[in-house]
């Protein structure tokens, strides 16, 4: 699949959390293929190195940054690393997360609830907080956050994940209003049923077919479908869009 081209992304500095695999990896590759210089953030060093190697093999520029994005200290370290090796980022894709596995609420103890909220909501706040001062001082930029169809309507995912992802939608709208005067746009993606490596490995083919059939466009999404939407929101092609949540959902839109 060929990736869209946005000339204004050439030379921009981007940070992609959750970049070690799945949707984030596809987004890091798509940004780099548009000429952006990308810091790829995750916890799995080997997986990060593989994504960075793929970018470099394609002629692009990327660096790996190992961090747990629920940790302010580790994010501060990433900021210093990126500043030293690439410069000040003006594009930020805060995509890390994914603790959506179904679990009855009665089995969701307080520790697990907090872990999911930390991973899928607080991490987005902390990531933005880490890079916001530099972006504002640079005169602006574009932030893309990651919600989910599970944050748009009740779903099979656990309740903490649904609440966290709904929180990302409102965090995005709030920040869009607050940061617009500083030239910073903030938009959100809400994917449904993306066939990442993990989904492909864990979901039996007959289940994949059944889930695909629940979407008007009749297939599962791909990481590249989400990366394309992220590219558009990063680019000045969407320069008058802020505060939006885009349902990357094959037409399965109920909001
Ligand atoms: N796949 C879908 O159908 C779908 C639908 C809606 C929303 N989403 C959202 O899309 C995002 C990416 O999901 P995916 O499907 O691509 O999942 P994935 O393949 O499991 O990737 C998850 C990514 O998040 C990173 N991550 C998770 N917790 C982290 C932490 N505490 N610190 C640093 N990195 C962390 C992982 O890094 P390491 O493995 O290196 O730690 C990995 O790069 C998630 O926010 C997920 O909720 C996915």
176 has a pLDDT exceeding 70: yes
> pLDDT per residue over 188-214, tens digit each?
999 999 999 999 999 999 999 999 999
Tens of pLDDT, residues 122-140:
999 999 999 999 999 999 9
Residue 242 main-chain phi, psi, to 5 deg: -155, 145
Is 95 close to ligand 1, i.e. is its CB under 6 Å away? yes
Q: CA 122, CA 233: separation in Å to the nearest integer?
A: 22
Regarding the beta carbon of 18 and ligand 1, being less than 6 Å apart is answered yes
pLDDT tens per residue across span 4-44: 999 999 999 999 999 999 999 999 999 999 999 999 999 99
22 CB contacts (<8 Å, ≥6 apart)?
98, 194, 196, 197, 198, 223
Element holding 67 (H helix, E strand): none
| Residue 250 Cβ < 6 Å to ligand 1 | no
How distant, in Å, are the alpha carbons of 10, 45, 48, 107, 110 from that of 53?
19, 12, 9, 41, 40
Report in angstroms the alpha-carbon separations of 56 from 51, 59, 62, 215, 228: 9, 5, 7, 35, 20
| Residue from 60, 151, 161, 185 carrying the catalytic annotation | 161
Q: Tell me the fold of 9-193+223-248.
A: Rossmann fold (3.40.50)
How far, in Å, from the CA of 95 to the mean position of ligand 1?
Answer: 7
Residue (of 188, 198, 103) closest to 148 by Cα position = 188
pLDDT band at 152 (very low <50, low <70, confident <90, very high): very high
Most distant CA pair in the chain, distance: 51
Test site for ligand 1: of 96, 125, 190, most ligand atoms within 8 A of the Cβ? 96
60 lines ligand 1 (CB under 6 A): no
Kindly state the helix (H) or strand (E) to which residue 60 belongs, with its residue range. Answer: none
Q: Is 21 in the pocket of ligand 1 (CB under 6 A)?
A: yes
pLDDT of residue 57: 98
- Mean pLDDT (the chain) is 97
Q: Calculate mean pLDDT across residues 79-84.
A: 98
What 3-state class would DSSP assign to 231?
helix
Residues 241-246 have a mean pLDDT of 98
What pLDDT was estimated at residue 254?
Answer: 77
The residue whose CA has the least distance to atom 43 of ligand 1 is 18
- Residue 55: band (very low, low, confident or very high) from pLDDT cuts 50, 70, 90: very high
In the chain, domain spans: 9-193+223-248
Which atom from ligand 1 is nearest to the alpha carbon of 18?
43
Centre of ligand 1 to C-alpha 96, Å, is: 5
What whole-number distance in Å separates Cα of residue 157 and Cα of residue 98? Answer: 10
- For the question of residue 161 being annotated catalytic, the response is yes
Ligand 1 centroid vs 227 CA: distance in angstroms? 13
């Amino acid at each position: 699949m060929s990736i869209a081209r946005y000339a204004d992304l050439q030379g921009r500095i981007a940070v992609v959390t959750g970049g070690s695999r799945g949707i984030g990896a596809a987004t890091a590759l798509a940004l780099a293929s548009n000429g952006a210089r990308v810091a790829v953030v995750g916890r799995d060093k080997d997986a990060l190195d593989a994504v960075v190697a793929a970018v470099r093999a394609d002629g692009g520029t990327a660096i790996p940054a190992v961090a747990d994005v629920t940790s302010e200290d580790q994010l501060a370290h990433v900021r210093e690393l990126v500043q030293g090796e690439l410069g000040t980022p003006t594009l930020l894709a805060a995509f890390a997360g994914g603790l959506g596995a179904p679990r009855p609420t009665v089995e969701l103890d307080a520790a697990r609830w907090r872990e999911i909220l930390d991973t899928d909501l607080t991490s987005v706040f902390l990531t933005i907080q880490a890079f916001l001062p530099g972006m504002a001082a640079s005169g602006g930029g574009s932030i893309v956050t990651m919600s989910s169809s599970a944050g748009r309507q009740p779903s099979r995912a656990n309740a903490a994940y649904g609440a966290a992802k709904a929180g990302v939608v409102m965090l995005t709208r709030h920040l869009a209003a607050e940061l617009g005067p500083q030239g910073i746009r903030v938009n959100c993606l809400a994917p449904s049923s993306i066939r990442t490596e993990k989904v492909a490995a864990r979901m039996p083919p007959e289940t994949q077919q059944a889930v695909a059939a629940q979407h008007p466009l009749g297939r599962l999404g791909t990481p590249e479908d989400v990366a394309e939407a992220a590219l558009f929101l990063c680019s000045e092609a969407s320069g008058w869009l802020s505060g939006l949540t885009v349902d990357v959902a094959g037409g399965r839109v109920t909001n």
